[in-house]
Structure 1
Amino acid sequence: MKFQHIGIPTRDRFEGEIPLPHLRITVSDHANNPFGIQWQRYWDDAPYPDLVKTVAHVAFEVDDLMAAIAGHKVIIEPNSPSPGVLVAFIEVNGAPVELLQVDHARRPDL
């Protein structure tokens, strides 16, 4: 696993907002700072567990998403939020953890 970002939910607007209508969320660019901090504002109709919408999560890039989630409590099933990216959320000790599998040939920006 390789650390990718920390997602911090907020209800407030923030600088550098990037709306993602298909995900029902607004985010900041985690790559614009050396610590991978990403602000996230979930829209009222965002279809995610309250745990994800209210508690900060850490995100790690993994080589094999299905192997990485095996044996864990999956709270957001594997899905593709953008081309070349596969993600899932698991719950670990009461906290959300995001796991990402990235096809770097398709997504050299990540």
Structure 2
Amino acid sequence: MQFSHIGIPTKDAKNWDGFYEPGKIHYTDFNKDEFGIEWIQCEADSPMPEMFQNIPHLAFQVDSIEDALEGKEILVETFSPAEGVRVAFINHNGAPVEFMEIKA
């Protein structure tokens, strides 16, 4: 497991790099930020959990998303926001944590 980025919910307008339609999430590219910050903003009718929409999350790159999720309280089931990328979120002591599996 390797630290990847921090995701911070915001109500402020940003120069969004993308939009994930199923979750109705606007986001910036954390790779473009010198400190690895991903800004996120959910639309009013987003199906994402309140915890995800309102509390910053830490993200870790993992070799196997199934192994990382084992025994954890799943907040958001595994989904694929881009080709070769699988993501899931857990509830870790009241805070969201993201696991990212990237296959080239």
**TM-score, length of structure 1 as denominator length:** 0.88
**How far off its partner does 1:12 sit?**
1.4
Residues 21, 78 of structure 1: alpha-carbon distance in 2 compared, 3 angstrom cutoff: closer
Measure, in 1, the Cα distance between the counterparts of 2:42 and 2:9.
Answer: 7
Q: Specify the code of the residue in structure 2 equivalent to 1:37.
A: I
User: Segments of 4+ in structure 1 off by > 4 A?
Assistant: none
**1:78-89 counterparts in 2 under 5 A?**
78-89=78-89
Q: Which residue of 2 aligns with 1:18?
A: 17
**1:21 Cα offset (Å):** 4.7
Give 1:99's aligned residue: 99
Residue pair 2:20, 2:81 contacting (<8 A) in 1 also = no
**Aligned length in residues:** 103
- Deviation, 1:31, is 0.8
- RMSD of the TM alignment (CA)? 1.1
Residue in 2 aligned with 1:59? 59
Q: Determine the C-alpha separation between the residues in 2 that align with 1:102 and 1:21.
A: 17
Indicate the percent of aligned positions where both proteins have the same amino acid: 40
Residue of structure 2 equivalent to 1:36: 36
What is the letter of the counterpart of residue 34 of structure 2?
Answer: P
Q: In structure 2, how many angstroms separate the alpha carbons of the residues matched to 1:39 and 1:102?
A: 20
SS at structure 2 position matched to 1:76: strand
Give me the whole-angstrom Cα distance separating, in 2, the residues matched to 1:42 and 1:12: 11
| TM-score scaled by length of structure 2 | 0.93
Q: Distance in 2 between matches of 1:21 and 1:65?
A: 20
- Give the 3-state SS of the residue equivalent to 2:74 in structure 1: strand
